[in-house]
Chain A
Amino acid sequence: MAPNLRRKRQWTKLCFSLVAAVLCCYAGVFTLRRSGYIARAGLDEPIQSASLRFSRNTGGTGRYLVREAGQVWPKPQHQVSTVEVFVLNRDTFNFNYAPGSQRCEILDLAFERYTEIIFSIDEATTSRKCDADSTCLTVLEVSVKEPCKGASLHLESKEKYGLVVTREGVKLKADSVWGALRGLETFSQLIYRGEHGLYTLNRTDITDFPRFPHRGVLLDTSRHFVPVKYILQNLDAMAFNKFNVFHWHIVDDPSFPYESVAFPELSKKGAFHPDTHVYTQKDVRTILEYARLRGIRVVPEFDTPGHTLSWGHAKPDLLKTCYTMSGKYRGALNPVHEATYQFMGKLLQEVKDVFPDQLVHLGGDEVNFACWKNDAEITQFMEKQGYDYYAKLQTYYIQRIIKIVESLGKESAVWEDVAAKGQEGSVPKDTVIQVWRPRNWAQKMAQVTRHGLRTILSGCWYLDLISYGEDWPSYYRCDPHAFNGTKAQKDLVLGGEACLWGEFVDWTNLLPRLWPRASAIAERLWSSEDTTDMEDAAVRLGEHRCRMVRRGIPAQPLHPSACPFLPV
């Protein structure tokens, strides 16, 4: 069949599907009227266990259909929706600034973006007109109080917004442009295909703000190179989930893809390939700007002193040579050479210039002491300093690096290893400790916050660890406040991060592996502490997964199901 004919056939199919969709959504709205929630597409029994080849099933096909109902993910703090519905049409709907509102490129571009996102739900519905007597909304009016030109999100930024959908129109109010971005995302999610396939949304009043200010996703671009295109796609997905930190674990043992201005040889010799597997300064700027426009901070990680093998290809003297019976190998950065600190000073100066965020991640994890133990130079230094164990040398190193970062006017984040037991006092109070070990993470959170240090949690959110079946509930149930501690300690928890380490992930499988699993974490970090109803979450997550797929993110399925649009 010729492509044109096939296209036509699809259009015919679409017209039919419209009828089905209308019935489907109509049913959905009725449910909404009755209970305020929509039952999870009939998935009333748990999804089959891994021990069975097939899912057990006694019901009909309908139970697998994901329905559009305009439910929001992550769940807003306060939302009241009524049965009153309004419709939108592409030709007559506009995003506008309210009188007196601040204006800036961030919002201008967001208006364009969300117009596309909202009105590309399905080709068939775009041609539908709002008729005179239907309740047609023609404007969303944004009011932003703080100036926003050229702004970047930071840890203290306000993301709170108020969104009111009434007959008079849609009003979105926020102190900062970041609140407005979150509100636009929410608005776009409220819209579903309603009666007659029209873009429909219910009368709604939302006041929303995040529970935690640091909501991150870590990507590792060293174990596999991830082309810029996929990093940008992932930033889109993050915005769809109100994540606001891209923790860029940019270099590590396997490769050094960051093309440094001060030390170009690092990527020339340390990248997988110096031409194709590098992030040029232009690439980095592209990513930073793309993230900024979506209210996402980019926190770069230059992990030292361990995890630096790839640095040694260009700078062998940076690394300590270690000896075993079978030969020698390269260990961590040499902590007893002044040259190491001079080099790090220069590199961090560049990091400061290139990455605008206040926070720099310094790593500091998994230093191999075995190498130091065998080394005369190290031993001598230890004796001179009066250090009686190696963690003290590690502390010495990281303290000096943190000082460099301080002198540059930035703050440091480090992995929990740096705040080892007995060493918690060794880092400045404004250091952020990232807790990553899955075992006893709660104890670690308590220990770190007891010393007045701020912390972010990843221990229960290592999404590179996969298993068979629907695994998001375990991520969803993990709460960063679930440790024994005072209110003051809890307040030191800035948030958390979903980590997708790169051993088995590259551009071929990154997005489906991360999404929608990371969405569970997005809700835990944004929504109120008591948002714990798994049934309700399952329904909304099902819709949200399909929403991401429709927006072009290949988010993998959660369970046997079908999305309410042409399969992609």
Chain B
Amino acid sequence: MTSTPAAHDPNKMAVLRRTQAVFSVLLVLFVSPLPCHNVPAYQKPVMVQQTGKVLPKPQMLTVSAEAYTLAMSGFKFTYGSSSQMCDIVDQAFRRYYDLIFVVDGVKKAPVVSKDMSELTELQIMVKEPCTGVYPSLESSENYTLTVAAPMGTLVADSAWGVLRGLETFSQLVYRTDDGMIIINKTTVDDFPRFAHRGILLDTSRHFIPIKYIKQNLDAMAYNKFNVFHWHIVDDPSFPYQSVAFPDLSAKGAFNPYTHLYTQEDVKDVIEYSRLRGIRVVPEFDTPGHTASWGAGLPGFLTPCYDGSAPNGKYYAANPMLNTTYDYMTKLLQEIKDVFPDKYVHLGGDEVSFNCWKSNPDITKFMEKMGFGTDYSKLEEYYIKNILDITTSVGRDYIVWQEVLDNGVQVAKDTVVEVWKSNPSVPTEMARVTGQGLRAILSSCWYLNYIAYGEDWGKYYKCDPQDFSGTQAQKDLVIGGEACMWGEYVDGTNLIARLWPRASAVAERLWSNKDVTSMADATVRMDEQRCRMVRRGLNAEPLHPGFCQFEYD
């Protein structure tokens, strides 16, 4: 009741109010981390409306107030007269037509306004032949989009640029409350900041049905990601059905009949990706993370010893046997035949030396090779062999940072994926690029780590070029990857956990370096989340509120 006397004195009252205001602010600051069922600093949630904001933000975008309507019967995508034509673009026409006109799972004819001009056509011009092509690290994704009635144009060197442009076009379109489909007069000149924009899925710790892998590829396309890093096998299971070594999945999958990817499944995923301009980079991680290989490939893993006797346990590829390298040659040959991408991810992370140390044959081999007791030399020996094999079968490689940390000599076109935060990300990025090697970053984008609240800001703020180095070093950073490791993720929660959090990473990797305003990004993130929901993905909410079109 201390404030009551003051209440009668206007001056004191004002002071009190001020004090209390300060106190309330402090209270809010103090209380807010306590996630009670209240939001202390309450703000009215606003409906997330479709307004045609594009995520990731284009490099150059001019939107004018002039707006056009689109009619379902009247609108079409066409090829320009001198354009290349191909299945990639044909199918994209159909896909994007549906994305624009389908609401809540049904094609809904929009209301057409007589007072507005109508956009009746988007004419596409592809310069390079695109029939049967696959995207690559070097692919051009540039495009120029001009929206003006009655006919807009989309010009790109490659089909991939067209895909990105169509995505942008579909995002510029919005539906008003009274059922009109609107697009503003717009020009876009766009290209990605980084060439490698990836999502890692782990299908070993939990099996992920093809259906969800495809849903995820859709989500990637909506966010202009272009690399599906398929961490296909690991310790827990080996779901890849190999042609050369069918026993690997027969004995190493969770269930050899239900929890595996057949050759047909893999082809399906690769084709689905190709049509969306997404590269599939498979990872066959060795020499560690290979427990599931043991049953199907006897002799591949190193027997561990207790004293002078094997203890029945096995760990990591056996680096001293020629058969190990024969196996890997055969497997990598197969990978080359199955996966069209020029790159294969060879893993190489987290190798523990305990088992190797326990094995007397390895000890002898170490002596013979003159490695002394330096087991990282043995690891280097293994990795060097695998890298050489990969080169010999005609593939380039990506490796986790440990390979480099351990001092292995790698080829100049190696791509190093940085995932550790220790000692620090900038130090590691500088070190990798300092050796003239290309780098991709994922340390700050481990989306399997979850926490209470809205956490995309920290992903958004992480910049792969944020380290001390020369321009040449910066240029060696080719991108990054959002990683969704599979310990706690499977078909039940994958999509909701990954999206829209990965959208923050998408914008960081595509948009201009100076696109850093959190306030602007928030608006785009909101709309993008609701857009993904409208398109049928279970993208989780960012904060209290609702979408204009949200559920069926």
> Do the two chains belong together in a single complex?
yes
Q: What is A's interface to B at a CB cutoff of 8 Å?
A: 1, 13-14, 16-17, 20, 47-48, 50, 52-55, 57-61, 64-65, 220, 223-225, 227, 249, 253-255, 272-273, 276-277, 306-307, 309, 323-326, 365-366, 370, 373-374, 376, 379, 382-383, 387-389, 436-438, 462, 464-470, 499, 501-509, 511-513, 549, 554-562, 564-568
B540 cross-chain contacts in A, Cβ below 8 A: 504-506, 508-509
Stretch at the interface among B257-265, B320-328, B507-515: B257-265
Q: A503 with B292: in contact, given A324-B21, A464-B452, A557-B490 (CB under 8 Å)?
A: no
What's the Cα separation between A224 and B252 when bound, in Å? 43
A-B contact count (CB 8 A): 229
Nearest CB on B from A272, distance (A): 4
B206 lies within 8 A of A465 (CB): no
B533 cross-chain contacts in A, Cβ below 8 A: 508
A20 cross-chain contacts in B, Cβ below 8 A: 255-257
Stretch at the interface among B129-137, B427-435, B544-552: B544-552
Which of A220, A306, A373 neighbours the largest number of chain B CB atoms within 10 Å of its CB?
Answer: A373
From B20, B294, B419, contact of A53 by CB (8 A) = B419
Q: A224 with B545: in contact, given A55-B235, A468-B448 (CB under 8 Å)?
A: yes
A559 lies within 8 A of B488 (CB): yes
Q: A53 with B485: in contact, given A509-B496, A561-B206 (CB under 8 Å)?
A: yes
A388 lies within 8 A of B1 (CB): yes
What's the Cα separation between A468 and B485 when bound, in Å? 12
B496 lies within 8 A of A508 (CB): yes
B4 lies within 8 A of A470 (CB): no
Main secondary structure of the interface of B (DSSP, over half): loop
A220 cross-chain contacts in B, Cβ below 8 A: 37
Q: Across the two chains, which residue of chain B brings its CB closest to A222?
A: B544
Q: Across the two chains, which residue of chain A brings its CB closest to B492?
A: A554
Q: Across the two chains, which residue of chain B brings its CB closest to A438?
A: B34
What's the Cα separation between A84 and B490 when bound, in Å? 36
A14 lies within 8 A of B264 (CB): no
Q: A55 with B487: in contact, given A323-B17, A508-B538 (CB under 8 Å)?
A: yes
Q: A567 with B209: in contact, given A60-B295, A273-B47, A505-B541 (CB under 8 Å)?
A: yes
Q: What is B's interface to A at a CB cutoff of 8 Å?
A: 1, 3-4, 7, 13-14, 16-18, 20-21, 23-24, 27, 34-39, 42, 44-45, 47, 205-209, 234-238, 251-259, 264, 289, 291-292, 294-295, 313, 315, 349-350, 419, 446, 448-454, 485-493, 496-497, 533, 538-546, 550-551
Nearest CB on B from A558, distance (A): 8
Sorted from nearest, which 4 A-B pairs have the closest CB atoms? A562-B254, A554-B492, A57-B235, A512-B493
What's the Cα separation between A58 and B543 when bound, in Å? 41
B452 lies within 8 A of A64 (CB): no
A559 cross-chain contacts in B, Cβ below 8 A: 487-488
B18 cross-chain contacts in A, Cβ below 8 A: 325
B258 lies within 8 A of A566 (CB): yes
Q: A48 with B487: in contact, given A20-B257, A61-B253 (CB under 8 Å)?
A: yes
Q: A17 with B258: in contact, given A272-B47, A504-B543 (CB under 8 Å)?
A: yes
Which of B18, B207, B237, B489 neighbours the largest number of chain A CB atoms within 10 Å of its CB?
Answer: B237
A50 lies within 8 A of B37 (CB): no
A502 cross-chain contacts in B, Cβ below 8 A: 544
Q: A567 with B491: in contact, given A20-B257, A64-B236, A466-B450 (CB under 8 Å)?
A: yes
Q: A508 with B541: in contact, given A16-B257, A53-B446, A562-B255 (CB under 8 Å)?
A: yes
B497 cross-chain contacts in A, Cβ below 8 A: 509
B251 cross-chain contacts in A, Cβ below 8 A: 61
What's the Cα separation between A13 and B47 when bound, in Å? 47
B452 lies within 8 A of A466 (CB): yes
A467 lies within 8 A of B452 (CB): yes
Nearest CB on A from B549, distance (A): 9
Q: A277 with B236: in contact, given A220-B37, A501-B37 (CB under 8 Å)?
A: no
Nearest CB on A from B250, distance (A): 11
B259 cross-chain contacts in A, Cβ below 8 A: 562, 567
Can you show 19 pairs from A to B with CB atoms below 8 A apart?
A60-B294, A223-B544, A272-B45, A272-B546, A325-B14, A370-B23, A373-B3, A382-B1, A436-B36, A438-B34, A467-B452, A499-B37, A504-B454, A508-B539, A513-B493, A556-B492, A562-B255, A567-B207, A568-B491
From B238, B446, B490, B542, contact of A556 by CB (8 A) = B490
A512 lies within 8 A of B492 (CB): yes
Q: Across the two chains, which residue of chain B brings its CB closest to A372?
A: B3
What's the Cα separation between A61 and B239 when bound, in Å? 11
Q: A254 with B451: in contact, given A14-B257, A55-B235 (CB under 8 Å)?
A: no
A325 lies within 8 A of B21 (CB): yes
A437 cross-chain contacts in B, Cβ below 8 A: 36
B35 lies within 8 A of A465 (CB): yes
B264 lies within 8 A of A1 (CB): yes
A309 lies within 8 A of B257 (CB): no
A306 cross-chain contacts in B, Cβ below 8 A: 38
B493 cross-chain contacts in A, Cβ below 8 A: 509, 512-513, 554, 556-557
A47 lies within 8 A of B487 (CB): yes
From B1, B23, B315, contact of A58 by CB (8 A) = B315
Q: A273 with B546: in contact, given A54-B350, A374-B20, A504-B453 (CB under 8 Å)?
A: yes
Q: A560 with B544: in contact, given A61-B253, A504-B454 (CB under 8 Å)?
A: no
What's the Cα separation between A421 and B38 when bound, in Å? 21
Task: Give 20 A-B pairs besides A499-B37, A560-B486 with Cβ atoms closer than 8 angstroms.
Answer: A17-B258, A20-B257, A53-B446, A58-B291, A60-B291, A64-B254, A224-B546, A225-B546, A254-B45, A325-B21, A365-B37, A389-B1, A437-B36, A503-B453, A509-B497, A512-B496, A555-B492, A556-B490, A564-B255, A567-B259
Nearest CB on A from B103, distance (A): 12
A365 lies within 8 A of B206 (CB): no
Q: A562 with B207: in contact, given A1-B264, A61-B295 (CB under 8 Å)?
A: yes
B544 lies within 8 A of A254 (CB): yes
B45 lies within 8 A of A255 (CB): yes
A61 lies within 8 A of B544 (CB): no
B291 lies within 8 A of A59 (CB): yes
Q: Across the two chains, which residue of chain A brings its CB closest to B495?
A: A508
What's the Cα separation between A501 and B544 when bound, in Å? 10
Nearest CB on A from B351, distance (A): 11
What's the Cα separation between A557 and B291 when bound, in Å? 21
Q: A557 with B237: in contact, given A324-B21, A325-B21, A436-B37 (CB under 8 Å)?
A: no
From B207, B486, B492, B544, contact of A503 by CB (8 A) = B544
A469 cross-chain contacts in B, Cβ below 8 A: 487-488
B37 cross-chain contacts in A, Cβ below 8 A: 220, 249, 365, 436, 462, 499, 501
B446 cross-chain contacts in A, Cβ below 8 A: 53
Which of B37, B264, B448 neighbours the largest number of chain A CB atoms within 10 Å of its CB?
Answer: B37
Nearest CB on B from A385, distance (A): 11
A465 lies within 8 A of B3 (CB): no
A564 cross-chain contacts in B, Cβ below 8 A: 255
What's the Cα separation between A506 and B372 when bound, in Å? 59
B551 cross-chain contacts in A, Cβ below 8 A: 227, 507
Q: Across the two chains, which residue of chain B brings its CB closest to A508?
A: B538
From A53, A468, A501, A568, contact of B451 by CB (8 A) = A468
B236 lies within 8 A of A55 (CB): yes
Which of A59, A227, A504 neighbours the largest number of chain B CB atoms within 10 Å of its CB?
Answer: A504
What's the Cα separation between A511 and B205 when bound, in Å? 21
B544 cross-chain contacts in A, Cβ below 8 A: 223-224, 254, 502-503
B452 lies within 8 A of A465 (CB): yes
Nearest CB on A from B232, distance (A): 14
What's the Cα separation between A388 and B207 when bound, in Å? 63
B485 lies within 8 A of A61 (CB): no
